[in-house]
Amino acid sequence: MSFQSSEKMSVAIVREREDDFQPRPPRRTTTNLSVDFIESSISLSEDSRYVAEIDRFVSAEEAELYEDKTLAIWKEASLELQKLETAVQQLREKTRTKHSSHEVATSAFTWKQAVAEVNTATESYKNSAFVRICDKSGMFEQWLSLLPNDSYSAVISGAFVMGVQAARSLSGLSKSIYEALGSVPDVLDHAGTYIDIYKAHRSPALVSKTASLCRAILTTLRLVIEFITKGSLKRFTGAMLKGSHYQESLKESIEDMKLQALRVREEAGVCMQRDMANLNHKIDTRARQEQLSHALTKEELSLQIDAVPEATAQLVLTHLLRSLQSVPGYNIRTGGPPHTAGLLSLLRSEDTSPQPSSKADPAVTIESLSAVLDFDPDVLQADMDYCLTLGFRESPDFQDRAAWVMKASQTSKFLASDTGSKLLVVNGNHDAMEFISPLSYVCAKLADFMSVSEEIICLTYFCSRHTHEWREPRANAQGLLAHFIGHLLPQLKSRKRKRFEPDLSSLSIEDQSSLGDDDLAATWRVFEAIIRQLPRGTVVVCFIDALTVFENTTRRQDTNLFMKKLSRLIRKAKKVDLRCMVTYPGRSNYSAMWGIDFDGRCADKLEVPEYI
């Protein structure tokens, strides 16, 4: 086949394919509705101009300076764009027919047209380059949207359309041309993170490297289009076999394109690290603010209580509830009704005089019980600190969920009502596997506030911090109960105004020994005996966080048995005010087996909305 016949065939096929496309307007840049509203509805200074790259209004002088810098960065790419546009136009002139019914303007090409052309070619030729172009077309289209104006996208799309059409007419050149065209989207493989970073953080260095990558892509496409315009099967094959200047130029251009893509990814990584550092700084700042706010609220609560001689436990809870509702940003829609103050009635304080210590059987003492329980207060404090610190540092969404729970009406009733003992189950209705959740922060925060006064006996256990039985054999219901006893005994002994030492004479040495043998029944007898002996009016508040952890197959039976016993004790407790909050990151699946009605009297449930 002669050069002339090959060239005529190329021209004929391209002419035929060209008629399939209708002229389309260039892609319209996405509109910023907020900017449109400001410009149309708000009186601005006459010299104010909006600069999209920095997303703010600046003076006209500053906008011009920024525009000059942008033009300088994109200068080489802009020049290469003009060369590619000229090359595409020359190829179109060569393939134009005298009787064409319409003319496709270069600025009318879109990336969707280019993908459609490649898809059509794929139906005829099973080529891996076609598949790669189609697979990565979405990512490449996103990258095109980053470029300064629509001309880049139109010219690049036109180059693909004309290149694929012409290459299909010359079987000898098609493979290499397709491979060259396929290498363009290839360099943007896995570029999703880079594109997101570019949209959010256009640092001068990242913009500059993006411009260099664009220039390299334009150069590669220009070389392909120029060769198609000049070439033929004979000349192309000869060039490839002889290692011509064209082959070397195209190879160097593709390598440069890959190098620029690597530099872009590296710079995007630097930007991401910088953004992460800034984010961590913001998180640290917010965490310090949250920690300071918590400390100030705790200090104010302590001062309020100290100002009241012989403050009762109920008064402490009342002040606590008021403190929670008075923090900045309290939103009534989160569940705290305006009439909550009506729930803040105070219980009459009874038995305010110090209680005499009963003489217990010396065989079983608080000290001997504590030794068997092996309770470590440092572990409790570490759990509290961890959940508090986590809450201070977490996202606003995390803190919003925690705030919703603390200000819900059920929480208000749980803390401040005068109905006595109560069980409150909180269903987080969120990720059930997120054991350390906003509810962990709620439990830690409330327990820490309650620590300002010895009038409230506060017992806490974070199941989420004790998940592995193989590593911690007592990470189960018996261990939880033993932890409660170990936490309860020193609080009774350290109270100044209501110091109390329980009578342990009813407990045998066997009972005491059973505490160390994972005996749930024996451990419960000790806990129940102590609770029933507490002076009238004593308020005990228990927080059990993420009980889901102890409801797996191996621990479920004992956990349900423990909760059934605890529910019965809450229901029957009249002299002692026993309140227990049990939280679930997701939902409680076995609370119906506890033998208590969640009717709002002795027991209630709080359902946290899935979305706050």
pLDDT tens track for 433-488: 788 899 999 999 999 999 888 889 999 999 989 888 777 878 899 999 999 999 99
Over residues 567-591, mean pLDDT: 93
Dihedral sign computed on CA atoms, order 259, 265, 271, 274: negative
281 and 182 assigned to the same domain = yes
Q: What is the pLDDT of residue 77?
A: 92
What are the tens digits of pLDDT across the range 497-531? 667 788 877 777 777 777 767 789 989 988 998 99
Q: Would the pLDDT of 166 be above 60? A: yes
Q: In what order do the strands lie in the sheet with 456-462?
A: 456-462, 539-545, 577-584, 422-427, 603-607
Position 127 in a domain:
yes
What band does 553 get if pLDDT is binned at 50, 70 and 90? confident
For 139-143, 173-177, 300-304, 598-602, which range has the lowest pLDDT when averaged over its residues? 173-177
104 and 64 assigned to the same domain = no
Over residues 164-181, mean pLDDT: 68
Q: What is the pLDDT of residue 59?
A: 72
Percent of the chain with pLDDT over 90: 25
Q: What is the pLDDT of residue 216?
A: 94
The three state secondary structure string of 406-459 is: HCCHHHHHHHHCCCCCEEEEEECCCCCCCCCCHHHHHHHHHHHHHCCCCCEEEE
Q: What is the pLDDT of residue 404?
A: 92
Domain limits at 131? 76-302
Mean pLDDT score of the chain, rounded to an integer?
A: 77
371 and 394 assigned to the same domain = yes
Of 276, 302, 328, the last residue of a domain is: 302
Percent of the chain with pLDDT over 70: 76
In Å, how far are 176, 203, 265 from 261, measured between CA atoms?
21, 16, 6
| Total-model pTM | 0.54
> In this structure, what are the phi and psi dihedrals at residue 575, rounded to the nearest 5 degrees?
-75, -40
Q: Which of helix, strand or coil describes residue 126?
A: coil
180 and 84 assigned to the same domain = yes
Over residues 185-203, mean pLDDT: 78
What band does 25 get if pLDDT is binned at 50, 70 and 90? very low
Q: What is the pLDDT of residue 229?
A: 82
For 155-164, 244-253, 384-393, 535-544, which range has the lowest pLDDT when averaged over its residues? 244-253
Higher pLDDT, 510 or 407: 407
Q: What is the pLDDT of residue 295?
A: 77
Of 45, 73, 101, the last residue of a domain is: 73
123 and 97 assigned to the same domain = yes
Q: Would the pLDDT of 332 be above 50? A: no
297 and 400 assigned to the same domain = no
Q: What is the pLDDT of residue 10?
A: 39
Cβ contact 415:361 at 8 Å: no
Over residues 170-185, mean pLDDT: 71
Q: What is the pLDDT of residue 249?
A: 84
Cα 559 to the chain's mean position, in Å?
32
Higher pLDDT, 315 or 426: 426
| Cα Rg of the chain, angstroms | 37
Following DSSP, what letter does each residue of 176-229 receive, concatenated?
A: HHHHHHHHHHHTTTT-HHHHHHHHH---HHHHHHHHHHHHHHHHHHHHHHHHHH
Q: What is the pLDDT of residue 29?
A: 46
Higher pLDDT, 503 or 385: 385
Q: Which amino acid is at 489?
A: L
Dihedral sign computed on CA atoms, order 446, 451, 456, 458: positive
Q: What is the pLDDT of residue 4?
A: 42
> How far is it, in rounded angstroms, from Cα 582 to Cα 427?
9
59 and 141 assigned to the same domain = no
Q: What is the pLDDT of residue 42?
A: 64
123 and 43 assigned to the same domain = no
Position 485 in a domain:
yes
Position 319 in a domain:
no
Over residues 554-561, mean pLDDT: 92
Over residues 360-383, mean pLDDT: 77
151 and 249 assigned to the same domain = yes
41 and 154 assigned to the same domain = no
Q: What is the pLDDT of residue 27?
A: 37
Higher pLDDT, 418 or 240: 418
Residue 503's DSSP bridge partners are: none
What band does 162 get if pLDDT is binned at 50, 70 and 90? confident
397 and 429 assigned to the same domain = yes
What band does 343 get if pLDDT is binned at 50, 70 and 90? very low
> How far is it, in rounded angstroms, from Cα 270 to Cα 276?
10
Position 2 in a domain:
no
Number of domains making up the chain: 3
149 and 48 assigned to the same domain = no
> How far is it, in rounded angstroms, from Cα 174 to Cα 337?
74
Q: What is the pLDDT of residue 126?
A: 66
Position 272 in a domain:
yes
Decide: residue 581, CB within 10 A, 0-12 exposed, 13-18 middle, 19+ buried: buried
